[in-house]
Amino acid sequence: MSDAWDVVVVGAGIVGAACARECATRGLRTAVVESSGVGSGATAAAMGHVVLMNDSPAQFALTHYSQNLWRGLAACLPADVEFEQRGTLWIAADEEEMEEVRRKHRVFAASGVASEILDSDALAEAEPHLRRPMTGALLVPSDVVLDPSRAAAWLMEQAVRAGATLYAPRRVMSTGAGRVQIEDGAELHAGRIVIACGAESANLVPGLPIRKRKGHLAITDRQPGLVRHQLVELGYLKSAHTVAADSVAFNVQPRRSGQILVGSSRQYGDEETAVNPAILAAMLERAKVYLPELGECVLVRTWTGFRAATPDKLPLIGPWPADATVLLATGHEGLGITTSLGTARLIADQVMGARAEIPVAPYWPGRLFSAQAHVTRDSETNMEGR
Ligand SMILES: Cc1cc2nc3c(=O)[nH]c(=O)nc-3n(C[C@H](O)[C@H](O)[C@H](O)COP(=O)(O)OP(=O)(O)OC[C@H]3O[C@@H](n4cnc5c(N)ncnc54)[C@H](O)[C@@H]3O)c2cc1C
């Protein structure tokens, strides 16, 4: 294992798997070291909503870029990835939220993204089982759902097919100066080391400004037809500036099996993997407010996962200022399934010295360490439900 590689990717969640695939298919000698199984971290806990988000121009740029890359792959994805263009309905429960529907619609229109404002009746027709009356919704038809673990597995299979080597399960103990130390004493040497360890990234990169943000999800028994689109409430706007508090939001997804994924929650400061009964209960109560029939469904499984949260709600993609051999591909919080493919492109561009297709500065890790670094606190609230 003491080979020299162009790139060693540490972590084989969806981000690391995507980076490995992108690097290997561009001809880079690529190794991946994963401490557990492929797609077993936050990726296994996620909903798999590949969603356009526009809380900031940089967030929109990366989600739009990445969603287009997912769409480009759709024809190659195996059936078990369950890629489906379901579309998202952003639901407004009152006039204040309807104003946000109109704002989102304007922003998407200005960027050439199709969306449609639904009034109360049109929403009831689109989703007959939602509580009535709702004020309306924004339909974003381009949004997709998929199975994140299967997608990560496929990306890694593609990486290996393109020549990458996967070392798993093998824990990386330390990295730096082009060296990757593995738990069994082995060492890999690489031109570039890509840290893609999600919420665990700070273990390898001391000083990394990443906090764990716990989330809960549940899945029901088969309920074919109960939900047609990904449904997300816009109600989080009312709980603005609650960065420190635990929060829940209505966010449900129809799976191909007919089951419904029910989310979601956000918590700082709880690093236990166990389901918190109070948070779970609050999340389910919130969901029943929007979708009363959920109360009659059987929950077949509940679980938690940890998002990797940065102070300014944007991921860290690019060089780590303290070590020229280290590239970061982490901090994707609630959007890493969506943005994995865009992240992988930007990382491979970096390694190869190629020009990126979107501006990279907003994701550059150095932004959080410059004198001008500022934290856009107001965007803290705009990710609820993810
Ligand atoms: C409840 C919930 C719902 C979500 N829903 C969505 C959604 O609908 N859409 C969306 O876009 N995003 C969603 N997300 C966010 C998404 O899950 C994450 O952003 C994404 O999975 C991050 O992927 P990753 O590869 O960076 O991290 P991970 O999937 O956590 O992968 C990191 C990998 O690194 C490995 N690792 C860690 N340390 C080491 C080490 N020292 N050596 C070797 N390997 C190591 C781990 O074993 C793991 O496999 C959700 C998250 C949660 C918690």
Residue-wise pLDDT tens digits, 122-178: 999 999 999 999 999 999 999 999 999 999 999 999 999 999 999 999 999 999 999
Please state, for a pLDDT cut of 90, what percent of the chain lies above it. 90
Distance (angstroms) between ligand 1 centre and the Cα of 133 equals 37
CA distance 100 to 91: 10
- Choosing among 3.90.1570.10, 3.50.50.60, 3.20.20.220, 3.30.413.10, the CATH entry for 4-48+148-210+312-383 is 3.50.50.60
Please state, for a pLDDT cut of 70, what percent of the chain lies above it. 92
Is there an atom of ligand 1 within 6 Å of 144 CB?
A: no
Q: Whose CA is nearest to atom 3 of ligand 1?
A: 46
Mean pLDDT along residues 273-290: 96
Q: What are φ and ψ of residue 215, in 5° steps?
A: -135, 150
Residue 258 structure tokens: 């007919």
Q: What is the pLDDT of residue 241?
A: 42
Distance (angstroms) between ligand 1 centre and the Cα of 42 equals 3
Is there an atom of ligand 1 within 6 Å of 348 CB?
A: no
Closest atom of ligand 1 to CA, residue 11 = 34
pLDDT at 294 over 60: yes
Closest atom of ligand 1 to CA, residue 41 = 30
Q: What is the pLDDT of residue 102?
A: 97
Mean pLDDT along residues 34-43: 97
Q: What is the pLDDT of residue 246?
A: 87
The mean predicted confidence, pLDDT, of the chain is 93
pLDDT at 382 over 90: no
Domain boundaries, the chain: 4-48+148-210+312-383, 85-143+211-309
pLDDT at 24 over 50: yes
Q: What is the pLDDT of residue 371?
A: 46
* Residue whose C-alpha is closest to residue 34's, from 206, 150, 151, 153: 153
Q: How many CB atoms lie within 10 A of CB 347?
A: 28
Q: What are the tens digits of pLDDT across the range 3-17?
A: 699 999 999 999 999
Distance (angstroms) between ligand 1 centre and the Cα of 198 equals 5
Distance (angstroms) between ligand 1 centre and the Cα of 13 equals 5
pLDDT at 89 over 50: yes
pLDDT at 237 over 90: no
Mean pLDDT along residues 273-292: 96
Mutate to test the pocket of ligand 1, among 40, 167, 200 (most ligand atoms within 8 A of CB): 200
* Residue whose C-alpha is closest to residue 168's, from 326, 11, 310, 20: 11
Distance (angstroms) between ligand 1 centre and the Cα of 118 equals 34
Q: What is the pLDDT of residue 238?
A: 57
Mean pLDDT along residues 211-226: 96
Closest atom of ligand 1 to CA, residue 339 = 11
pLDDT at 370 over 70: no
CA distance 367 to 317: 11
Distance (angstroms) between ligand 1 centre and the Cα of 195 equals 12
Domain spanning 85-143+211-309: CATH 3.30.9.10: yes
pLDDT at 239 over 60: no
Range 168-195 burial, b when 16+ CB lie within 10 A, else e: eebbbeebeebebbbeeeeebbbebbbb
pLDDT at 279 over 70: yes
In sequence order, what DSSP letters do the residues of 111-157 get, joined into one string?
TT---EEEEHHHHHHHSTTS-S---EEEEETT-EE--HHHHHHHHHH
The answer to whether the beta carbons of residues 103 and 234 sit under 8 Å apart is no
